[in-house]
Structure 1
Amino acid sequence: MSGDPHLRQAKQQVGRTRRGEISAPVVTTFFDERTFTATHVVHDPITKSAAVIDSVMDFDQAAGRISFETADRVVEHLRSEGLVLDWLLETHAHADHLSAAPYIQQRLGGQIAIGEQIRVVQQMFGKIFNEGTEFARDGSQFDRLFRDGDKFDLGTIPAIALHVPGHTPADMTYVIGDAAFVGDTLFMPDYGTARTDFPGGDARQLYKSIRRLLALPDETRVFLCHDYKAPNRDFYAWETTIAAERAANVHIHEGVSEDAFVAMRTARDATLAMPRLILPSVQVNMRAGNLPEPEANGARYLKLPLNTL
């Protein structure tokens, strides 16, 4: 990875944080057990600048109703701590929960951001859902589209966006100070790695993306988007380290070859059911968390395409 300038920048950033040259970000996590999603609130202790990563909209699929109790907990935390919301970061267009980013933005401000390859996801799923020409496929629903290596700041804390495709084409990891927010790319060491059988997924790409992340310093804090409790573990967990992932990840620890990983991942994915909320989630999340526009009767609708995934 010596030829990877963006990774080198991320490694230097982690090192400076651990040496005390940069403030370490404070991370508070809200776990939604219904979708097994960890929403992270990250802030700079000096300036109180904050980011919300992978927020959750509550969705009752049977009743066709949305609500925001989970997001309201995040909003209340930000307000009670006196934090200033700068960023609403999405690691990718999730298939298992609906984003609450616009709801939080309306209350507290901030920019909604995702990786620039969301355009690829919009193209693919725009066809699957037969979206009309009114659905923009240029990522313009988001305030910021990150490219690999794009730098940004959280107050006094530098941050860098790393493109880590494989689970989806648009997956990003955000390294903020010494903390890496990896989305679904990695899970806890005892649970493994993301699936790659969604449209645009690729097991070989995922292997390369994870190996890139595992080149970060051992002490890098790693924050995950989901946890499902591994066998023999009766509690949820969403924080680990690069050292722990490299040494003990059950799918991709040090020494696992690319071919072995691809064979394992392909076989495992063939046994997995589709996520319960994949169809509503993708329709909303590819719109940056916004619902489809109302139809002539004033109601909004989510489509249920048959035999497409």
Structure 2
Amino acid sequence: MIRAEDALAAAADQITRAQQNKGLRPTIAGFFDESTNTVTYVVSDPTSKEAAIIDSVLDFEAASGRTSYGSADRVIEYINSNNLKVMWHIETHAHADHISAAPYLQEKLGGKLAIGREIIRVQDVFGKLFNAGTDFERDGSQFDHLFVDGETFKIGELEGIALHVPGHTPADMAFIIGDAAFVGDTIFMPDFGTARADFPGGDARQLFQSIRRLLSLPDATRLFLCHDYKAPGRDEFAWETTVKQQREDNVHVKDGVTEDEFVEMRNSRDATLAMPALIMPSVQVNIRGGRLPEPEDNGVSYIKIPVNAV
């Protein structure tokens, strides 16, 4: 298995080469879903037209339990209008704030569904919480591929490297593609700070170490974030920043903030936060690769809500 420091060095080298050669840089389109504050990315190679979709969103109305496909169909329209060929559907982690549209997109567009290998830990914890039973496999088999730290992959001529960045959850991964890093729920815009670390398996100290790992990449590395919530005083949503901007300005974790200071701040702040509105349906579906629980004998799928359990 590749060492963590070797994986980081390889990612930094890849970014530097892509910054020097435009042909190694991806074309990136972001699709913001304001109802969940989530950004879905289509990352494509301009030469081969091969593409990956990162962190897709299935529309879900909690009050009625109805799903719809408006957000995903916007992505399909972009893919088709640009003649792209989808090779990957990538999840940075098992999201707690929205349901993945990956199975729907995969059915329409093809490609492999992938997530970090530590999803098996998340499946174990939440499989027990939801009393999913023995029919629910806790081995990641709901996904076509499980990435490990330092693993490389290709999107056409583009080079990609997966980096394990736990802390928000045990399974969080960042994906370095060309000169861009898709960092999931590790860090937000500099004026908003960092992700929470109080979900099962989360750890503020791990999160700090993961963020500092990412912030050791070259200064000009483009960071693409999974969410934005508009910090006080900012009127527009934003989801792209750089390593340099984060190191200089991030209100939680800029240069000079110690690990202990961050852990104290993060734990104190997390204790005041409510659970995400869609955590129960989202996690329950996303640990299944974005698939609803198997229908019961009446043909209907059901989302469980554990009472007084969390």
Counterpart residue type for residue 91 of structure 1: T
Q: Distance in 2 between matches of 1:21 and 1:61?
A: 44
User: 1:98-152: CA deviations, max 9, x gaps?
Assistant: 0000000000001110000000000000000001100000000000000000100
SS in 2 for 1:280: helix
How far is the alpha carbon of 1:23 from its aligned partner? 2.0
Q: State the partner residue of 2:247.
A: 246
How far is the alpha carbon of 1:3 from its aligned partner? 7.2
Q: Distance in 2 between matches of 1:213 and 1:279?
A: 30
Q: Distance in 2 between matches of 1:22 and 1:218?
A: 20
- Normalising by the residue count of structure 1, what TM-score does the alignment of the two structures yield? 0.99
SS in 2 for 1:134: coil
Matches within 5 A, 1:24-63: 24-63=25-64
Matches within 5 A, 1:172-211: 172-211=173-212
Greater mean deviation of Cα atoms: 199-208 or 15-24: 15-24
Question: Is the 2:24–2:159 contact (alpha carbons within 8 Å) kept by the matching residues of 1?
Answer: no
Question: What is the Cα-based RMSD across aligned positions, in Å?
Answer: 1.0
SS in 2 for 1:227: coil
Go from structure 1 to structure 2 and tell me whether the alpha carbon gap of 1:3 and 1:64 turns closer, same or farther (over 3 Å shift): closer
How far is the alpha carbon of 1:166 from its aligned partner? 0.1
Go from structure 1 to structure 2 and tell me whether the alpha carbon gap of 1:120 and 1:81 turns closer, same or farther (over 3 Å shift): same
Q: State the partner residue of 1:123.
A: 124
Q: Distance in 2 between matches of 1:207 and 1:22?
A: 33
Counterpart residue type for residue 192 of structure 1: G
Counterpart residue type for residue 12 of structure 2: K
Q: Distance in 2 between matches of 1:239 and 1:42?
A: 14
SS in 2 for 1:276: coil
SS in 2 for 1:14: helix
Does residue 261 in structure 1 map to residue 247 in structure 2?
no
- Normalising by the residue count of structure 2, what TM-score does the alignment of the two structures yield? 0.98
User: 1:170-217: CA deviations, max 9, x gaps?
Assistant: 000000000000001000000000000000000000010001000000
Question: Is the 2:4–2:149 contact (alpha carbons within 8 Å) kept by the matching residues of 1?
Answer: no
Q: State the partner residue of 1:14.
A: 15
Q: Distance in 2 between matches of 1:308 and 1:5?
A: 41
Q: Distance in 2 between matches of 1:35 and 1:3?
A: 33
Q: State the partner residue of 1:169.
A: 170
Q: Distance in 1 between matches of 2:22 and 2:297?
A: 57
Q: Distance in 2 between matches of 1:135 and 1:37?
A: 27
SS in 2 for 1:85: strand
Q: State the partner residue of 1:83.
A: 84
Question: Is the 1:22–1:177 contact (alpha carbons within 8 Å) kept by the matching residues of 2?
Answer: no
How many residue pairs match? The answer is 308
Q: Distance in 2 between matches of 1:185 and 1:150?
A: 19
Counterpart residue type for residue 41 of structure 2: H
Question: Is the 2:215–2:247 contact (alpha carbons within 8 Å) kept by the matching residues of 1?
Answer: yes
Counterpart residue type for residue 92 of structure 1: H
Q: Distance in 1 between matches of 2:51 and 2:88?
A: 7
User: 1:221-256: CA deviations, max 9, x gaps?
Assistant: 000000000010011000000100111100000010
SS in 2 for 1:4: helix
SS in 2 for 1:47: coil
Counterpart residue type for residue 292 of structure 1: P
Structure 2 unpaired stretches of 5+: none
Greater mean deviation of Cα atoms: 115-124 or 17-26: 17-26
Q: State the partner residue of 2:221.
A: 220
Question: Is the 2:94–2:119 contact (alpha carbons within 8 Å) kept by the matching residues of 1?
Answer: yes
User: 1:249-299: CA deviations, max 9, x gaps?
Assistant: 000000100000000000000010000000000000000100000101111
Question: Is the 1:23–1:45 contact (alpha carbons within 8 Å) kept by the matching residues of 2?
Answer: no
Q: State the partner residue of 2:100.
A: 99
Question: Is the 1:151–1:160 contact (alpha carbons within 8 Å) kept by the matching residues of 2?
Answer: yes
Question: Is the 1:16–1:22 contact (alpha carbons within 8 Å) kept by the matching residues of 2?
Answer: no
Q: Distance in 2 between matches of 1:8 and 1:35?
A: 34
Q: Distance in 2 between matches of 1:191 and 1:306?
A: 32
Q: Distance in 2 between matches of 1:245 and 1:89?
A: 24
